[in-house]
Amino acid sequence: MDLLFVAPEYGRRGVAAALLNQLDSGGALTVDASITAKPFFERRGFRVVQQQSVVLRGQHFINFHLRRAGAK
């Protein structure tokens, strides 16, 4: 999977969690998440590996590279 977005009108309804649960194999996962998506992934066991500064179309954004270890 490359991108996961939920339309704002469906936010806070469990849609993103349901999508992640369907795709989750229990193995190790990494994600590059926006500052607004970071808490969502942290609540699901992901930990920040690195804060990143990204330039897109001349705009600077901060995002986070997060990792979750696989099930043992």
pLDDT higher than threshold 90 for residue 67: yes
Q: Which residues contact 32 (CB under 8 A, 6 or more apart)?
A: 52, 63, 64, 65, 66
Q: All domains of the chain, ordered by start, with CATH?
A: 8-68 (3.40.630.30)
- pLDDT: which is higher, 24 or 71: 24
In eight-state DSSP terms, residue 27 is S
Neighbouring-strand partners of residue 65: 32, 50
* Residue (of 39, 37, 41) closest to 67 by Cα position: 41
Q: Is 19 helix (H, G, I), strand (E, B) or coil?
A: helix
pLDDT higher than threshold 80 for residue 72: no
Token output for 26: 């229990």
Question: Tell me: the pLDDT tens digits for 5-49?
Answer: 899 999 999 999 999 988 888 889 999 999 999 999 999 999 999
Question: Tell me: the pLDDT tens digits for 3-17?
Answer: 888 999 999 999 999
pLDDT higher than threshold 70 for residue 53: yes
